[in-house]
Amino acid sequence: MLLAIDVGNTNVVFALVEDETIRWRWRVATDHNRTADEYAVLLNQLMALEGVERAHISGAIIATVVPPTLFNLQHLCRKYFDVEPLIVGANGIDYGIAINMPNPAEVGADRIVNAVAAHASTPGDLIIVDFGTATTFDIVASDPVTGAGSYEGGVIAPGINLSMDALYMAAAKLPRIAVEPPTTGSNNASVIGKNTVHAMQSGVFWGYVGLIEGLTSRIKAEVGRPMTVIGTGGLATLFNRHTDAIDSVDGDLTIRGLIRINALNAIT
The answer on whether 111 is annotated among ligand-binding residues is yes
Residues with a catalytic annotation lie at 110
CA distance 235 to 205: 11
37 is in an annotated binding site: no
Q: What is the DSSP string of 110-157?
A: HHHHHHHHHHHHS-SEEEEEEESSEEEEEEEEE-TTT--EEEEEEEEE
241 is in an annotated binding site: no
Q: Is 10 annotated as a binding residue?
A: yes
What's the CA gap between 213 and 137, in Å, rounded? 11
Reported residue count of the chain is: 268
Beta bridge partners of 27: 13
Q: Distance between alpha carbon 123 and the CA centroid of its chain, in Å? A: 20
Question: Would the annotation count 94 as a binding residue?
Answer: no
Residue 133 labeled ligand binder? yes
Q: How far apart are CA 179 and CA 200, in angstroms?
A: 10
| Measured CA angle at 78 (ends 76, 79), to 5 deg | 70
Q: Is 55 helix (H, G, I), strand (E, B) or coil?
A: helix
105 among annotated binding-site residues? no
Rounded (5°) CA angle 3-15-264: 55
Asked if residue 179 belongs to a known ligand binding site, the reply is: no
12 is in an annotated binding site: yes
Any known ligand binding at 30? no
143 is in an annotated binding site: no
268 known ligand binder: no
Flag whether 33 is marked binding: no
Query: 135 with 160: CB under 8 angstroms?
Result: yes
Quote the Cα angle for 34-40-44, to 5°: 140
Spatial CB neighbours of 204, under 8 Å, sequence gap ≥ 6: 160, 163, 164, 167, 177, 179
Binding residues for ATP: 6-13, 133
Annotated binding-site residue numbers: 6-13, 108-111, 130, 133, 196
Q: Which residues are annotated binding-site positions for substrate? A: 108-111, 196
- Which residues define the annotated binding site for K(+)? 130
